[in-house]
């Protein structure tokens, strides 16, 4: 394993819980394969340092943003911005709603009124008040 693969594997542990919990010998075997996927990606560019490119790649691969919309009536409802690491939970609507409840973004009564869960871009997430 070279330095670049080692750097990638260290950063990957922050995003991928399954990789983080692998035995070290399995990480050692897996890291170069995952690093090779990064090298082939559109995130591996010459205009930034490799560290920043890796972070962009991992963020795009593992971090997703959602709008959980609670709807009571035409004039009464709200949207909740949710940021999720997809290595920690599934991306289905029920899992995202349960995640929002666990993070106290909505309560269980409001969960019964969720009209949709929609993936949104980071800019939309920030525009909704997400951090």
pLDDT in tens, 105-127: 999 999 999 999 999 998 899 99
pLDDT tens string 42-86: 999 999 999 999 999 999 999 999 999 999 877 788 999 999 988
Sheet holding 76-85, edge to edge: 76-85, 63-73, 114-120
Range of the domain at 120: 63-127
User: Is-contact 15 58, C-beta < 8 A?
Assistant: yes
Number of domains composing the chain:
2
Are 49 and 16 within one domain? yes
Same domain, 8 and 24: yes
């Amino acid at each position: 394993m070279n330095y670049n693969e080692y750097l990638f594997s260290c950063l990957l542990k922050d995003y991928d819980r399954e990789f983080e919990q692998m035995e070290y010998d399995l990480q050692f075997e897996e890291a170069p394969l995952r690093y090779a996927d990064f090298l082939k990606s559109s995130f591996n560019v010459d205009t930034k340092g490799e560290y920043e490119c890796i972070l962009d790649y991992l963020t795009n691969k593992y971090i997703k943003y959602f709008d959980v919309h609670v709807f009571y009536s035409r004039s009464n409802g709200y949207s909740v911005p949710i940021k999720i690491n997809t290595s920690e939970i599934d991306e289905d609507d029920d899992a995202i709603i349960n995640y929002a409840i666990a993070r106290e973004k909505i309560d269980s009564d409001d969960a019964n009124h969720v009209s949709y869960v929609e993936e949104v871009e980071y800019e939309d997430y920030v525009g909704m008040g997400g951090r």
